[in-house]
């Protein structure tokens, strides 16, 4: 942002302020700030944070400060009732901190924020039943966070997500009995996950999969009477698992 580019980077070196002109000289006299280390007016995020951690009563007065990082840090320490009254800040970092502090039932103004990390923060905190508002978010990382927290009964709504990472998370979380809906997923990594988690009878549906790892996972779970067709599979690991299971089955059956 233009505002951020206008000032020197707060993380490059140690930026000391002129204590003779500081409006908080009384704090220095009381030993509650340290020039070059614990300072509210320095252009240094670390110094500002150290200062407000020791002197949180100054945070509220910094919420309208012209320096984005001072505002963002002030939000961490300001009283929650004051933070709740703040209008959305022009800087995404400040909005992100606000979204991390607001009660989970007061995040509606940030559900469709222009910054994906603000929306990710909301997705991490909002009540699970409210996550449906973010199901169609334009950013896959937001939808991935939704997939991690969405109630199991609603995960079916994400099985056709355009991003495989989202579908992989859905495959990890869906109940085993419901995984059949993903057997034709276009991505082998998704099918590998469900093959390792499916109920045995359902795993048999993946024994002819084009991906050998999927077949391997399915061969380890499917009923033994279904896996004989893979005894001569082109992949040695698949053949090995199938023959091992068949041998064990025959041995147990002969007892």
Check which CATH number belongs to the domain holding 59 and give it.
Answer: 1.25.10.10
Instruction: Compute the chain's Rg from CA coordinates.
Output: 28
Is 60 exceeded by the pLDDT of residue 3?
A: no
Share of the chain above pLDDT 90, in %: 79
Within 13 Å of residue 175, how many CA atoms lie on the same side as its CB?
6
User: Per the domain annotation, does 80 fall within a domain?
Assistant: yes
- The single residue listed with the structure tokens 């991490």 is 124
User: Per the domain annotation, does 123 fall within a domain?
Assistant: no
Global pTM reads 0.83
pLDDT reported for residue 36: 78
pLDDT digits (tens, 9 = 90+) for 17-39: 667 677 776 676 567 778 778 88
**Domain limits for position 11:** 1-102
Q: Which two tokens stand for residue 58?
A: 């100054």
Give the count of domains, the chain.
1
In angstroms, the CA 217 to CA 195 distance is 5
pLDDT digits (tens, 9 = 90+) for 158-194: 999 999 999 999 999 999 999 999 999 999 999 999 9
Stated as kind and residue range, the H or E segment containing 100 is: helix 92-101
What distance lies between CA 227 and its chain's CA centroid?
Answer: 39
User: Per the domain annotation, does 236 fall within a domain?
Assistant: no
């Amino acid at each position: 942002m233009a505002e951020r580019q206008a000032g020197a980077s707060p993380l490059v070196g140690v930026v000391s302020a002129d204590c003779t002109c500081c409006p908080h000289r009384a704090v220095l006299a009381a030993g509650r700030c340290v020039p070059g280390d614990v300072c509210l007016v320095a252009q240094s995020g670390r110094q500002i944070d150290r200062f407000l951690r020791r002197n949180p009563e100054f945070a509220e007065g910094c919420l309208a400060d012209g320096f984005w990082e001072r505002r963002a840090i002030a939000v961490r320490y300001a009283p929650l009732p004051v933070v709740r009254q703040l209008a959305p800040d022009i800087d995404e970092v400040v909005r992100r901190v606000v979204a991390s502090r607001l009660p989970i039932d007061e995040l509606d103004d940030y559900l469709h924020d222009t910054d994906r990390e603000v929306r990710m923060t909301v997705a991490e905190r909002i009540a699970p039943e409210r996550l449906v508002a973010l199901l169609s978010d334009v950013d896959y990382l937001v939808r991935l966070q939704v997939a991690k927290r969405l109630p199991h009964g609603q995960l079916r709504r994400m099985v056709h997500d355009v991003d495989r990472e989202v579908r992989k998370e859905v495959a990890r979380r869906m109940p085993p009995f419901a995984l059949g809906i993903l057997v034709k997923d276009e991505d082998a990594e998704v099918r590998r996950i469900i093959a390792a988690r499916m109920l045995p009878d359902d795993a048999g549906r993946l024994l002819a999969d084009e991906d050998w790892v999927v077949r391997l996972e399915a061969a380890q779970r499917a009923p033994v009477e279904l896996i004989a067709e893979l005894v001569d599979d082109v992949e040695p690991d698949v053949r090995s698992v199938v023959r091992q299971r068949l041998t064990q089955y025959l041995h147990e059956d002969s007892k």
